[in-house]
A and B are shown apart, each in its own frame.
Chain A
Amino acid sequence: MSGETVLVFSEEAEAIPGLLAAARAAVGPGPGRVELAVLADGGGPAGSAVGGADRVYRLLLPENARHDPELVAVALRRAQEAANPRLTLVASTKRGRETAARLAGATDSAVSTGVASFALEPEGVRIRREVLSGNALGEEVLLGPRPIVAVMLGAPVPAVPPTTPPEIIDVPPPEGAGRIALVERTVKPAGGLRIEAAERIVSVGRGLRKKEDLSLIEELARAMGAVVGCTRPIAAEAGWLSDDHWIGLTGHRVKPRLYVAVGISGAVQHLVGMRESTVVVAINKDPNAPIFAQSDFTVTGDLYTVVPALVRALSGA
C-alpha cells in the first residue's frame, strides 16, 4: 500500500532505528511516510539525530516522566492526532507494551503486542505473534481506526544519520501532574551482555547441580567461542547467572548460529526463546527430554562427562 503514514515511538532510544526500519519496510517505496515521536523529558535529544523519519515529534514531558505511562500515552496521542497514521508502531518492551495498552484504551483502538511481523492490508493490519506461551503462532487482523502494534525487535541496529534534517514539531506537555510519583530509579547492574546478538550460545539448565559447576559450562563456551545462556530457574530462582543470560518467553530471544542446550529439559517457555537458532545441540541424560525433538544433534549422557570430553575434543586433545 502506498501513501500511508506509520508513526513510530519508543521510550528507549536504542529501539528507534529498528522501529524506523520496520516502519519503512511496511510503507514500502513511494509516497509512504514514516514519522517519529520521541520523549523530550530531559533524557537528551534522542531521535532527532536519527535518519529515516520524515518528521519528528518531540513530546515535551516533565523531567524524567517515563515512569508514568499515562503521561506518555497522553503525549503520544497528540502526536498520533497530528500524524493521523495508518499504524502506530512501538517496541514490544515492557514500557512499550504498557504505553501501547494505555493509548489503545484512551482511543478505543485495536492493539497487539509481542508482534513478530505485520503488514498493512486494505482491511486492516495483519499481524503474526506467538500465542500459547510460544507453542503456536497466531494470525490476527487489527480492525478499526488507529491500530497500535508493539513489535519484537532483535538485536539493536545502528542509527544512520539523517540525509536531510527532518521537520521537528514540539508537542506541548500535558496539563496537570501525573498520578504516579517516582521514588527511585536504578539502572540494573548488567554485565553489558547482549545475548541477542551472540553467534554461538552454550546454555545451561537445572541439570547443573551447583553454582561452582558453572565453570564447566564457561569452559565449554570459551572453547566454542560462545557466550553462556541459561533457563529461567538458573537466573530467576537460583540466581547463579544474571538476567542478561536468561533465554525464553520471559527472558531474551536469541537466534545464534549454534545453540548448545546442556541439562535443559526443553519447556515450551524456554524453546520459544531459542527456536530461531540455526543449529541446535542438546546434551541431556534423559533420552525422552522434549528438547531432543527440537534439536539437530543430540547426545544422551551425563553432562558431567560429556562437557569435559567436548572441551578436550575442541582443544584437540
Chain B
Amino acid sequence: MSGPIRLWVAVKHGVDVVLARADRSTGTVAMDRAPRKTSDFDRNAVEEAVRIREKLGGTVTALTVGPPTSKEALRDALALGADEAVLITDPARPDLDGRGVARALAAYARTHPGFDLWFFGEGSTDHFTGTIGPRVAAEIGAPSLSYARRVSVEDGAVLVEREYEHELEKVRAAFPAIITVGQEINQPRVPTFMSTLKASKKEIRSFGPSELGVQPSDWAPLARRDRVFVPEVNRKRQAVSGADPATTARGLVDALRREGVLP
C-alpha cells in the first residue's frame, strides 16, 4: 500500500419500496416517476468504509450513477461521513440498466485509477440483482469478495469473513479489491444535524460519458424493462372470533380442517 488508503463506495438512489405505489387501474408501477431514496445496504457500505478511515486514515469517496436527482444519495453518504462525492450522469440516458451502471463505474475507475477497496451493497433495495459489484470487478479485472460480514484491513490486503447459505468463509486478497456488504456487517450511524449541514455544502463532482472516454453504445441497455406490476392477492381475509379464546380456537381449527390443511 502506498500512501493513505483510498476507499470508494458505490451508492444507489433507488426506488423507495415503501412509498412506491401501483396505478390502481393498471396494477403497474411507473418506476421512472416513483419516489427514491438511498438503497439500504449502501448505508452499511458507507459505514464500513468510514469506520476503516476512522481507524487508519485515508479518504472515502462515494460514487453514484444516475440523473442529477441521485445526488441525494451522495448527500446521504457525505452526511454519514464520506469525504468526497462523484456523480456519473448521462443526460441522454437518465436511467441505465445494470450493464450500463457497471460500465459507467468501470469507466470512472479506469480514468481515475487508484482505489484500494471499493464497497458495494450486496443487492439494491429496489432491484436486488446483486450483480453490479462483481460485474464492475470483472470489467476492471479486480477480485470481488462478496457477502462480507466482517472486514479487516492488513498491510496492503484485506481479510473478509463472509457468509453463504450453508458455509462460512475467510478469504484474503491484495489491494485493489471490491467488497459487497449486507445489513449484518454493521449498524450505520444516524447522521447528525451538523453532519447533514456540512454534507449539503460539499462539492459534488460530476462526470459524463465524454469525460470518461465512453461511447454512447457502451451504456446502451441490454435489458428491456417491460413492466413492473403488483400481483393480485386473493386471500379470504376471514376474521375468526368467538365468545372466548377456546371458542375462537375451535372455530379456527374447524376452518382449517374444512380447507384440508391440517392432518
Contact = CB atoms under 8 A, between A and B. Distances in A.
B237 A298 contact: yes
A101 B230 contact: no
A160 interface: no
Interface in B229-247: 229-231, 233, 235-241, 245-246
Contacts of B134: 69, 98, 101-102, 105
A294 B136 CA distance: 39
A209 interface: no
A289 interface: no
B137 A102 contact: yes
Contact of B144 (A102, A103, A131): A102
A294 B233 contact: yes
Contacts of A258: 256, 261-262
Contact of B128 (A103, A111, A131, A178): A131
Interface string B52-78: 000000000000000000000000000
Given A258-B262, A298-B240, A113 B129 contact: yes
Contacts of B17: 132-133, 135, 268
Interface of A is mostly: mixed
Contact of B135 (A101, A292, A312): A101
A300 B171 contact: no
A309 B138 contact: no
Interface residues of A, number: 84
Interface stretch (B82-90, B111-119, B160-168, B192-200): B160-168
B246 A313 contact: yes
Contacts of A236: 184
A300 B165 contact: no
A133 B225 contact: no
A296 B235 contact: yes
A101 B165 CA distance: 18
Contacts of A69: 134, 144, 146
A309 B239 contact: no
Interface in B213-259: 221-231, 233, 235-241, 245-246, 248-250, 252-253, 255-256, 259
Contact of A224 (B133, B136, B238, B262): B262
Contacts of A114: 128-130
Contacts of B167: 185-188
A182 B173 CA distance: 9
Contacts of B221: 143
B256 A105 contact: no
| Chain B interface helix/strand/loop/mixed | mixed
A22 B129 CA distance: 20
B29 to A, nearest CB: 6
Given A98-B134, A135-B17, A297 B168 contact: no
Given A135-B17, A250-B183, 16 more contacts: A69-B146, A105-B134, A110-B223, A111-B129, A114-B128, A183-B171, A185-B167, A224-B263, A275-B233, A279-B256, A293-B237, A297-B240, A299-B239, A306-B245, A314-B253, A314-B262
Interface string B144-180: 1111000000000001000011111111111000000
Interface string A180-224: 111111111010000000001000000000000000000000001
B131 A138 contact: no
B188 interface: no
Interface in A91-148: 93-95, 97-98, 100-106, 108-114, 124, 130-133, 135-144, 147
A147 B17 CA distance: 27
Contacts of A113: 129-131
* B239, B255, B261, B262 pick with most chain A CB within 10 angstroms: B261
Nearest to B131: A101
6 residue pairs, one from A and one from B, having the closest CB atoms? A105-B138, A101-B131, A110-B222, A309-B249, A309-B245, A313-B249
24 contacts: A97-B129, A98-B146, A101-B133, A102-B144, A111-B135, A131-B128, A132-B17, A132-B228, A135-B17, A135-B20, A136-B22, A139-B228, A141-B224, A141-B226, A142-B222, A180-B172, A183-B172, A187-B166, A250-B182, A293-B235, A298-B239, A306-B248, A309-B245, A309-B249
